[in-house]
Amino acid sequence: MAPPAKRARSAQQTQAPSEGHSDSDGPDADYASAPKPVRRVRVRRGGLARLPEMPLDVVAEIMSYLEPLDLLHLARTSRHYRTFMLSRGSAFMWRAARENVDGFPPCPEDMSEPALANLLFCAFCHGCGRARCDKIYWDLKARYCNDCTANLGVIVRYDPHLAGFLRIDIPFPMSHLKPFMLLRVVNEKRMAYLHDVHDGVPPVGGEYYSVERADLDAFKEALKDMQPDERYAFVEKRAKDLQMARKALVPLIRWRLDMQEARKNEKSEILDQRYNEVTKRLTELGWGEELEKMNTCWLRKHPLVAQPRPLTDRVWQNMEEKIVNFMKERQQARLQGVGR
């Protein structure tokens, strides 16, 4: 009996292997080149999504551990949270968060709690929102970078009387008030403004300062169609209102100055601790005598030493060689009589 005929091979089976693949390529090679399945990890999302639906006592308990900046971050996570956090019903959360900050003064009557938190804790320009700026213009209750401040103010030279500055007839004695007593001040060139406040009126000295351009235009527009008696009453009320507003800002300004001083002292203390730790480790390496002869400013100003961070063993291990080389250079300079 004749053997069964072999089945003809198809064209796909008889096709020569393509360039770059060996004859040994087969099913195993195809399997190896196939993309591996991605392992999916379950991530819990929206853990706080139902916060607005929780009972108020539960929400109050959660918020009692937060500070104003935490609430600002929460309010900016989504539109839904923004609506919830900025509603009147959430005012108690902001008050509770403010009380968690040591020595934080009460909120002025003409400001909301979120606006106060944004002013004091968010160091970004209120004009462009991009540049970081630490300067607060207290009359404007806002922060502005140098670019945004450029066209914000109008310079008042030699501190003239109000009537002469505005070129508007105002009855005496209101006509002899100074512009800074009625208009919001933008900058404080050559003047100690609101950092040393006496009864809410800032002492002004020097040749010039600036007032807000928009405030000046609105003030002149309001006076334009008034009779002299009306102008007198308007200016008098304006001066009293601005004085009271500045007086309410005094606790905030002093609190911020105290916080800046505390941070400065804390930074200085950490720098001293880091320097002392560096000198201790150098002494252990035999550089004690050289440290006594060397001006300490050289080592204190070294970029690896003048950092407000604690010195750990790992950090010292990374910087030891550079500091030792620096000590050798200073020693060589001292022996040559250069830059002691």
The whole model's pTM is what? 0.70
CB-count burial class (<10 Å; 0-12, 13-18, 19+) for 13: exposed
In this prediction, residue 63 carries a pLDDT of: 76
**pLDDT of amino acid 46:** 55
Domain boundaries for CATH 1.20.1280 within the chain: 51-122
Is residue 186 within 8 A of residue 137, CB to CB? The reply is: yes
On the CB side of 162, CA atoms within 13 Å amount to 25
Query: Tokens at residue 103, please?
Result: 């020595």
Residues with pLDDT less than 50, the chain? 11-12, 14-27, 29, 31-32, 41, 43, 189-203, 205
Residue 153, Ramachandran bin (φ over 0: left; ψ between -120 and 50: alpha; else beta): beta
Per-residue pLDDT tens digits for 285-338: 999 999 998 888 999 999 999 999 999 999 999 999 999 999 999 999 888 876
What are 217-264's pLDDT values in tens digits? 898 888 888 888 888 888 899 999 988 988 888 899 889 989 989 999
Whether 309 and 270 have beta carbons less than 8 Å apart is answered as yes
Does domain 51-122 fall under CATH 3.30.1220? My reply is no
- Cα–Cα distance, 209 to 226 (Å, whole number): 28
Question: Which residue stretches of the chain are H helix?
Answer: 11-14, 27-33, 56-63, 68-75, 79-85, 91-99, 113-121, 146-149, 162-166, 213-224, 228-284, 288-293, 296-300, 313-335
Contact by Cβ (8 Å): 87, 93? no
User: What is the predicted pLDDT for the residue at 169?
Assistant: 75
Closest CA to 208 of 184, 181, 188: 188
